[in-house]
Amino acid sequence: MSVFSVPRLRANAREWRESVLFLLLVGPNLLLLAAFTFWPMIYNAYLSTISWNFLSPIRRFVGLRNYETVLSSEIFRVVLINTAVFTVVSVAATMALGLGLALLLNQPLRWREGTRAVLFTPTVLSGAAIAIVWIYIFDPRFGLLAQILGWFGILSPNWLADPNWAMTALLIVYIWKNTGYAVVIYLAGLQTIDRTLYEAARIDGAGPWGQFWHVTLPGLSPIIFFLLVTSILACFQAFDIIRVMTDGGPVNATNMLVYHLYERGFIQSQAGPAGVVAMVMFVLMLILTLLQLRFLERRVHYS
């Protein structure tokens, strides 16, 4: 054996040890991803092309007929519109309210810590439990909202049974539940902004609005981007509050993508159409995330 081959053999042994260590560390995670993420996606794509009721041993391949049936239905069009309205309004309101409250709570106010805790509490509570409480609050006969509106001589609408008010009721609950999370994330971002930047802005003659526009917003841009991406994805997956409060009704006024998937799959036992709804959700969420990464990430200041 040549003396020049010894270092190479040692290098190979080291590379083998590093490769084995890499597989030991990463392998379990890859297996979990394959079992609980990639395989369900592949299996769902298969489900979307068959006619099956989950119980029958017979599965009939129908190709793209399920897609044609679901995508051309009037209910699916309503579901898409409801999902878009719910996502746009709830994300915009949650992020705006969260930013305003975070700026307020970042000041040296009395009871600041207690207020932060109160705001964050709904985030950690069960969505189903919150929904049950809000059902009583929205009750048009003896609910809290009916009492408050009554003080001003206003007759309470039947929030959850009226198609014109049901979506508004859901949005109120969802925004109330998630604003505290946005506040906490914004507050963490505000702590990372260099105080000397505000001093420099004041020396340059910037007022409160100028400091907010030129220092606070650029400093919070990574936080805003993170909240925007995660909030949109969360809205697409909203289910528990809808299931408990409205069951997608009345007359599909609050029926959204995840609830429609549940309705097709577990109420109507239609594996194929449920698979189609899941595929549509996956494609929409992927497109929205890629668009945000493509057009918004370049405006984020990470330094």
Domain architecture of the chain: domains with CATH: 80-268+280-297 (1.10.3720.10)
| Per-residue model confidence as pLDDT tens digits over 26-43 | 989 999 999 998 999 999
Residue 10: band (very low, low, confident or very high) from pLDDT cuts 50, 70, 90:
low
The Cβ of residue 278 has, within 10 Å, a number of other Cβ atoms equal to: 21
Give the Cβ contact number of residue 173 at 10 Å.
Answer: 24
Distance CA 153, CA 157 (A): 13
Amino acid in position 231 = S
The whole-number pLDDT of residue 51 equals 92
What count of other Cβ atoms lies within 10 Å of the Cβ of residue 175? 19
Q: Helix, strand, or coil here: 154?
A: coil
Q: pLDDT averaged over the chain?
A: 89
Q: Which two tokens stand for residue 166?
A: 């049901």
Instruction: Tell me the per-residue pLDDT of 104-133, one tens digit each, with 9 for 90 and over.
Output: 988 887 777 788 888 888 888 888 999 999
For 42-94, what is each residue's pLDDT tens digit? 999 999 999 998 888 888 999 899 999 999 999 999 999 999 999 999 999 99
